[in-house]
Amino acid sequence: MVGRRTNLGLLWGTVISAFTGAGAFMVGTPAGRWVVVAHGVTALVIVILSPWKTTIARRGLARARPGSVTSISLIAVMLATIASGVLLILGSVNRLGPFTTMQVHVTLGVAALALTVAHLAKRPAHHHRTDFSRRSLIRSGGVLAAAGGLWLAAEGTLEAIGSRGSRRRFTGSHHIIDASAIPVTQWLDDDVQHLDRDNYAVTILGRDVELSDLESSEEVEATLDCTGGWYTIQSWRGVTLDRVLGDAKGESVVVRSTTGYWRRFPRDQASALWLVTHLAGAPLSDGHGGPVRIVAPGRRGYWWVKWVSSIEVDDVPPWWQPPLPLA
């Protein structure tokens, strides 16, 4: 039955695009590019299968069984998720009312996944043994190839019309050139801190270190790439974590903010992580984490802890933390 196979294709498309969407937030180096591409291609699998789904849904709704509200909501939320994804690619609409376009996209995506689970509870979809036959696999491969082709065509079109969307980084983010145009961004609900720079100290390995001891003339050029969909390449001034940690031994380095926000880094990467006081030659503003923040080259923005209050070394493995901050 065509309907059952379409439904299964949509189910897989939904689940994989949810996972690759979350995974795309963790991509910080070009090696992770495929996760972002897979997110786009699986979204297109959903688009390609939707004409068939429309027929199935029309038939289903004519019978008005329980669960129709879930089904209609799912279709609406799915369409809105894809539409907001297109806005993110085009990069000209950064806000939708009080929310960023990315916040809207992620919220809709999570809702689509939840509705899919609810829908599945009412209308279970089952794999048959024949789904793994040569013929079925060729058919699934065909859908995937069509989605891949559509992806290439879409990227080509963006390029041809000179859209901003064709100049995205491998993470999907858009370029912000001027340091003065960098948005002040918090992961979830932190407030911008206004700290007393004349009497500020960072607690490093239990010892209070004055700002003057963190002053340096060393500059590092690094790319701040926010999961909100923008990146900027700037020059930052500060010291490497290695220098402030000396020979402290341990598995990981925990960096905390005055807000309670924190991230855990591998101890052996401390020579490539920075504690900075300046951005583009000027002291960090309050919004950008002043007086002192982390610069973590090759890692997405949520690693770049602002308003650093303490740095500790311990023996907990560096992966022992939520993959994305929870607050």
Ligand X SMILES: Nc1nc2c(c(=O)[nH]1)N[C@H]1C(S)=C(S)[C@@H](COP(=O)(O)O)O[C@H]1N2
Residue type, 117: V
Give the one residue of 241, 301, 303, 307 binding Mo ion; rule: CB under 5 A: 301
Site string for ligand X, 187-216 (x = CB under 6 A): x--x--------------------------
- Between the alpha carbon of residue 30 and those of residues 24, 172, 201, 299, the distances in Å are 11, 11, 36, 11
User: Could you tell which of Mo ion, ligand X, none binds residue 137, using a CB distance below 5 to 8 A set by kind?
Assistant: none
DSSP, residue by residue, 109-169: HHHHHHHHHHHHHHS-----GGGGSHHHHHHHHHHHHHHHHHHHHHHHHHHHTT-GGGG--
Nearest CB to Mo ion, comparing residues 226 and 254: 226
DSSP 299: S
Nearer of residues 109 and 289 to ligand X, judged by Cβ: 289
Site string for Mo ion, 214-253 (x = CB under 5 A): ------------xx--------------------------
> Does 186 interact with ligand X (rule: CB under 6 A)?
yes
Does position 307 bind ligand X by CB under 6 A?
A: yes
Q: Which amino acid is at 175?
A: H
End-to-end CA distance of the chain: 46
The single residue among 306, 309, 311, 312 that binds ligand X, judged by CB under 6 A, is 306
DSSP classification of residue 172: S
The site string for Mo ion over 142-181 (x = CB under 5 A, - otherwise) reads: ----------------------------------------
9 vs 28 by CB, closer to Mo ion: 28
52 binds ligand X per the rule CB under 6 A: no
| CA–CA separation, 216 and 235 (whole Å) | 13
Residue found by looking up tokens 């003057």 in the block: 212
C-alpha distances out from residue 164 to 41, 158, 249, Å:
20, 8, 46
Binding piece for Mo ion, criterion CB under 5 A, among 168-176, 211-219, 235-243, 296-304: 296-304
* 3-state SS assignment for residue 260: coil
Record the tokens describing residue 64, joined without a space.
């008005």
Sorted by sequence, the CB contacts under 8 Å of residue 274 that are 6+ apart come out as 220, 222, 236, 238, 239, 240, 241, 294, 295, 296, 297
Of the candidate residues 57, 302, 311, 313, the single one contacting ligand X (CB under 6 A): 302
Residue from 71, 242, 304, 312 that binds ligand X (CB under 6 A)? 304
Q: Which is nearer to ligand X, 154 or 280 (CB)?
A: 280
Task: Give the pair of three-digit tokens for residue 207.
Answer: 């010892």
Q: Is 184 in the site for ligand X (CB under 6 A)?
A: yes
Stretch that binds ligand X, among 73-81, 157-165, 207-215, 296-304 (CB under 6 A): 296-304
Say how far apart CA 292 and CA 229 lie, in whole Å: 24
Q: How many residues bind ligand X (CB under 6 A)?
A: 20
| 223 is a contact residue toward ligand X (CB under 6 A) | no
Asked if residue 100 binds ligand X (CB under 6 A), the reply is no
Q: Give contact residues for Mo ion (rule: CB under 5 A).
A: 185, 226-227, 301
